Structure 1
Amino acid sequence: MSSSQSPRRDARRNHERLLVEAKQLFAERGVDAPLDELAARAGVGAGTVYRHFPNRDALVRELYDAAVTDLHDFAPQFLGAETGWLGIELWLELVSGWLADSPYLPAVMRRVAELDPKHRPATEFVPMMDAVVARAQAEGSLRRDVTAVDLSVMVDMLGSLGQYGKAYLPYWRRQLTVMLDGLRARPDVTPLPGEGQAFDEFHDMSHAKGPTPPNG
């Protein structure tokens, strides 16, 4: 092994360790937690943190973009499911479980929305989500009045159970089962009230994760 390979390998290892520890630190204390504490948890010097991430915002942005990459990795499973209903099940189960296991994400999402309101990579998934919904509805397994945004809200709700900590994670599938039963097409379903929320509105709401002051 050349002398140049070892420093690069060490740098990659430090980078990954910092990301892992940042997720845990931000989950516990928010994205404004001291970066000196991040360095201590990762077992590196403060200078190492800033060599990898010139500022806090760069670290937050990398965590956010990595989460978007994870979602891209899920998409082929939904689209390639054997049936439309299985695509719905996979969507709710995989993404909700991932979100519940990533309690740092709400804080990261809020900060990125503040830093760059026009950064909306989630809009890339709208055609995929609409296709999964349309397929399940066409086969008659998903109720006709459910939208992709409805499912996204459900994912958000289930994923929020991660706030209770890992002790709750074995139980969140109970709520998933209740939701899936409510999504199935049946002749006796109660019609959903009103129109579904637009995706842009949901995106802004989910990235705010806080109360919206009343108008006027």
Structure 2
Amino acid sequence: MSSATSTRRDARRNHERLLTEARRLFAERGIDAPLDELATRAGVGAGTVYRHFPNRDALVRELYEAGIEMFHELEHELVATETGWQAIELFLDRLSAWVAETPYLPALMHRMSQIEPDHRPGMEFEGVLEQIVNRAIDEGALRPGVTGVDLNVLVNMLGSLGQFGGAALPLRPRQLQVVLDGLRARPDSVPLPGPGIEFADFHEVAHNQKPGVTVGSI
């Protein structure tokens, strides 16, 4: 193995270690936690941190983009499910777990709206959400009137358990089942009151929230 190859491998390993420790540090202390502490946790020098992330905004951007990539991976799974209802279950379960385990997400999203106000990658997922919603409604599994934005709001509600600390995370599967039962189509379902909001409007609200408010749809 050449020294150049070894150096690149070490750099990739350090990069991934920094991202892993940044997630843990931000979950504990917020996205303004000292980057010197990140270096200590990752077992590298401060210079290494700044070689990978010239400033805090660069680190925030990469964590945000990693979330977007996770959405893209999930999108393929949603489309591949056998039924629309299975896609609904998968979306709510996977995303609410992520939001619950990422308590710094609201602050991350707010910071991104300041770094790059016109960056709106979350809008890419409007189509696939409406697709799985319409599919589940057509199957007779999902109550009529539910929208993709409704699913996002429910993700946030379930994910808000993460704001209470790790001890609350085991409650999420129970609350998820309550939510799923409320989404099922039944002959005696009461029509949903009022119109839902547009996806773009929800995206705007989610990214311009005040830090500390749990809204986690990217």
Question: Normalising by structure 2, what TM-score?
Answer: 0.92
Q: What is the DSSP-based 3-state SS (H/G/I as helix, E as strand, rest coil) of the residue aligned with 1:4?
A: helix
In structure 1, distance between residues paired with 2:80 and 2:105 = 27
Q: What is the DSSP-based 3-state SS (H/G/I as helix, E as strand, rest coil) of the residue aligned with 2:141?
A: coil
Amino acid paired to 2:125? F
In structure 1, distance between residues paired with 2:123 and 2:32 = 27
Residue 206 of structure 1: CA displacement? 1.8
In structure 1, distance between residues paired with 2:83 and 2:159 = 24
Q: How many residues align?
A: 211
Q: Which string of whole-angstrom CA distances, capped at 9 and with x for unpartnered residues, describes residues 169-207 of structure 1?
A: 222111101110110111211221111011112112222
Q: Percent identity?
A: 62
Match of residue 124 from structure 1: 124
Q: Which has the higher contact order (CA 8 A, sep 6+)?
A: 2
Amino acid paired to 1:92? L
Residue 3 of structure 1: CA displacement? 1.3
Residue 71 of structure 1: CA displacement? 0.8
Residue 103 of structure 1: CA displacement? 2.2
Residue 45 of structure 1: CA displacement? 0.9
1:89 paired with 2:89, answer yes
Match of residue 146 from structure 1: 146
Question: Normalising by structure 1, what TM-score?
Answer: 0.93
In structure 2, distance between residues paired with 1:160 and 1:209 = 14
Amino acid paired to 2:62? E
In structure 1, distance between residues paired with 2:104 and 2:7 = 30
Specify every segment of 5 or more residues in structure 1 that has no aligned partner in the other structure, as ranges.
212-216
Q: Which string of whole-angstrom CA distances, capped at 9 and with x for unpartnered residues, describes residues 99-122 of structure 1?
A: 212223222111101111211101
Residue 66 of structure 1: CA displacement? 0.5
Task: Answer with 176-185 or 29-38: which moved more.
Answer: 29-38
Q: Which string of whole-angstrom CA distances, capped at 9 and with x for unpartnered residues, describes residues 47-87 of structure 1?
A: 11110011110110000000100011111221111111111
Residue 8 of structure 1: CA displacement? 1.1
**How large is the Cα RMSD of the aligned pairs?**
1.3
Tell whether the 8 Å contact from 2:147 to 2:196 is kept in structure 1 after alignment: yes
Tell whether the 8 Å contact from 2:110 to 2:210 is kept in structure 1 after alignment: no
Tell whether the 8 Å contact from 1:96 to 1:156 is kept in structure 2 after alignment: yes
Match of residue 56 from structure 1: 56
Match of residue 214 from structure 1: none
Q: What is the DSSP-based 3-state SS (H/G/I as helix, E as strand, rest coil) of the residue aligned with 2:3?
A: coil
Tell whether the 8 Å contact from 2:96 to 2:155 is kept in structure 1 after alignment: yes
Specify every segment of 5 or more residues in structure 2 that has no aligned partner in the other structure, as ranges.
212-218
Residue 210 of structure 1: CA displacement? 3.1
1:12 paired with 2:12, answer yes
1:194 paired with 2:194, answer yes
The 5 A counterparts of 1:68-107 are 68-107=68-107
Residue 166 of structure 1: CA displacement? 2.4
